[in-house]
Amino acid sequence: MDEENAPKVSKRKSRLFQFLILLVTVAIVATICGLVIYYVGVVGDGQGNINEPALDSTSSPILPTTDSATSPITSSDVFYIGAARTDVTGPVVQVNMMGYAHPEQVANGLHTRLYSRAFVVADKELNTRVAFVSFDGGMTSQLLKLQVVKKLQEKYGDMFSERNVVISGTHTHSGPAGFFQFLLFEITSLGHVEQSTTAFVDGITESIELANSRLELGKIGIGSGLVNEGNINRSPTSYLLNPESERARYTHDTEQEITVLGFETLSGDPVGMLSWYPVHPTSMNFTNLLINSDNKGRASTLFEKMMRKPGETLGGQESFVAAFAQANLGDVSPRTKGPICFDTGLECEPLSSTCNGRSQNCTGFGPGKDMFDSTDIIARRQLDAAKGVYESTTEVLDGPVSWIHQYVDMTSQSIKLEDGTTKNTCKPGMGYSFAAGCTDGAGAFDFVQGMTHGTAFWNTIRDTLVKFICTVEPPQEYYDCHKPKPVLLPTGYMDIPYEWHPTTVDIQLLRIGQLVIAAVPGEYTTMAGRRLKEKIHMEAISQGMGENTKVVLAGLTNVYTHYITTPEEYAAQRYEAASTIFGPHTFQVYQEKFSDLVLPLVSGNKDDVDLGPPPELRAANQSRIAPLPGPDKVPAGVNFGDVIDDVNATYSTGDVVVVKFHAANPRHDMKLDSTYLEVDRLVGRAWKTVYTDADWSTKFSWEEKNSIAPPADLTLFTTLSDVVAEATGVRFDIDLARQLHESGVLFTGNDVNDDDVIAQEARHRLLQSMWDQNVLRREQTNYADVTSVESYVTIEWDIPADEASGTYRIVYHGDCMDVDGAITPFTGTTSEFDVV
């Protein structure tokens, strides 16, 4: 071979060698891909999603192309898991907040967005699946649950139903109200708020759909830990009425344990965290007027920020989902400094939680310097405990996925007690001490906690109201049923313009491996929750689940029925007991009903359980007397979004940037999955958004030019008068009645007999006197007039201590309505400023 041809031969050999290497590499990759497909049995869409075709209401789910009989994955600790988070913020102005029942707590802006966090778990054959949702709302209403299930079934058929879907509210008291189909819950919101309902229903549904679309094989870790100083008991005197031998088994009078689930794919990719821990989200008190997810939502966003993946920089847009769900929080407060008389600094009277005989001045405080600081502290205490468990747990859930569900009419249940007697539940009713509120938020008038007897005046008020809002007046047997609770509002008979309270509730259990989730329709107190969990635990073990069975209680799920106390606590008639609406034997009935469902849950015979009488899904918009947003306007020569108060040239970390814009009503667009504001930083020559209204460091407030603050003395009863007047055309002026009573003109104790029941003749005279004195008068409450309004937005940015120096600006996004109802988006931008 000559020297000229040698390089050509060498090149050909080199190319041949490279081709052989490439061929071998392709063969190896193809083999690996084939094995992965064989072992996993799932064909994805390139984004980790299972390719399930869209289903109509009549089709059945299409399973992945895996033959479960031959699949190598036989381990029972492998599940299909999916998690998702969606925005459910709703209206941020002109709507009363749900929780404290204070009519004057009308939202005027946004501090943190509200989210629905959904987790879907299915067995590895996709034969059985369950969905658990924790959302930043006051509670789940029956309207929300039924509408969410209806929307899911329109898309998936029978894949989801009320039987395998659990929706749990975190119980923030700073979320919008008006999303019920029962009137009592909508008194202070002046009726139904369609925007609240739409935001919650659509957002919760979407979160379940997204979680279901992201199902991927994985494992679920489970562990528990202790939260350090995360709560106190706000009714400790009631807790002490429980048997001493029972109390001796526990170190604290509240639950300290947090239970944590960690979701991870088989490839080790973290998906989500779901925890349960009892504490009221009442760190934000009723003077707060900014929509806020409180300590539970704050803990969730902190955990999600901690788990951000590369490229994830904005709050609420992380792929990891972290939920701090609610448990048996009934008597549990986050105000860890405890209650004091804020006018004197002295301790409150312990039995009645009063100061000088009044409940209004007895309030819980702490642990921070203000409500924002306290919210953050309690959130971080939950966060720290959950993080420790999440990072250290080694136990995984192992076993089947199942569920059990039954509807129960709680007005007609009987229970056999240990002494052999048989007792019954009652139609719903609210006691006197319900109106006293609690140390997280006091009530009104002369009501105090622990009232076991009514008063002549308030019984008169009650009996007068009954004539206008009850088709049938309650018999004496009804009042006797609730004893020792004196009934203030006989809601089981109040049905004008429609029902005031639910009567049918969901009894529901979910099972994932060795974990049983008890979904309870209200707020269990500490000891009531302990008893229920222990009963379910013992029953599950006796039915063969194993000694490693875990039980958690998920509060405020599916339908809201206020509180559930132990019978011993009920006797004390503090706020929680007065709000146990089905009478003194409510807890025992619930305990029996949940216990009865354990056997079919464990045995898999769920279809043998009678579904029970399903509740009716009624029309949502049955009552509304609150104003709707109207057209917007600005002064002549001014545009929407123009800056009124601009920024300074320079700020330091720790400073607060405050700017003001000519604005429009934020209710024209709820900005779901969007934002009312941006904090932008100049990066090179482009602006980059670094904060939105989802961040803790920002606040968004709206005000009307000629707005009038609600009267400070508004109460549940004054707004109740508005609702009654709208429904019946009769105004019952309770404030005037009190004034005339105190002056001796209208009513005195001499007009009642020894049983505190007004004699028939005296009652007739009193009723006529009320008409004569204008306490009762013909008056129809009309919808508020819609007029054009000039308004302003104030945006605050609390510059974090670790914020990078640079050039920034604040951007406001609004939407204005003209007189014809057309809505136009606009943007306002401040001048640039430097953070140094």
Q: How far is it, in rounded angstroms, from Cα 134 to Cα 326? A: 8
> What does the alpha-carbon distance between residue 827 and residue 485 come to, in Å, rounded to a whole number?
56
- CB atoms < 10 A from the CB of 185, how many? 23
Nearest to 748 by CA among 765, 727, 735: 765
Query: Distance between CA atoms of 200 and 172, rounded to whole angstroms?
Result: 14
Could you tell me which residues come within 8 angstroms of residue 760 by beta carbon, excluding any fewer than 6 positions away? none
**Nearest alpha-carbon partner for 321 in 310, 309, 330:** 309
Among positive and negative, which fits the CA dihedral 439, 443, 444, 447? negative
Q: Exposure string (b/e) for 3-23, b if CB count within 10 Å is 16 or more? A: eeeeeeeeeeeeeeeeeeeee
Give Rg (Cα) of the chain: 30
User: To which residue do tokens 């009850």 refer?
Assistant: 470
Assess contact for 135 and 171: CB atoms under 8 A: no
Paired with 263 in beta bridges are 220, 272
Is 758 within 8 Å of 463 (Cβ atoms)?
yes
Query: By C-alpha distance, which of 587, 584, 578 is closest to 530?
Result: 587
Nearest to 594 by CA among 650, 541, 553, 550: 553
Which among 93, 186, 103 has a CA at the least distance from the CA of 138? 186
The DSSP annotation for 19-35 comes to HHHHHHHHHHHHHHHHH
Q: Which residues pair with 730 in a beta bridge?
A: 778
Distance CA 709, CA 91 (A): 18
Element (H, E) at 464: helix 456-469
For residue 777, list its beta bridge partners.
731
244-273: burial string, b at 16+ Cβ within 10 Å, e else:
eeeeeeeeebbbbbbbbbbbbeeeeebbbb
Q: Please give the Cα distance from 594 to 507 (Å, whole number).
A: 6
Cβ distance 204 to 116 under 8 Å? yes
Gap between the terminal Cα atoms of the chain? 75
Paired residues of 501 in beta bridges: none
What percent helix, strand, coil does the chain show, rounded to 5? 30, 25, 45
Tell me the torsion sign for CA atoms 339, 340, 342, 343: positive
Active site residues: 333
Q: Sign of dihedral through CA atoms 220, 224, 225, 227?
A: positive
| Strands of 550-554's sheet in order across | 401-409, 504-512, 515-519, 550-554
Phi, psi dihedrals of residue 510, rounded to the nearest 5°:
-115, 150
What single-letter DSSP state applies at residue 234?
S
Contact predicate 284/270, CB 8 Å: no
747 touches 766 (CB < 8 A) = yes
The C-alpha atoms of residue 499 and residue 18 are separated, in whole angstroms, by 80
Which spans in 287-399 are helix H? 294-306, 371-392
Nearest-10 Cα torsion for 408, 411, 413, 418:
120
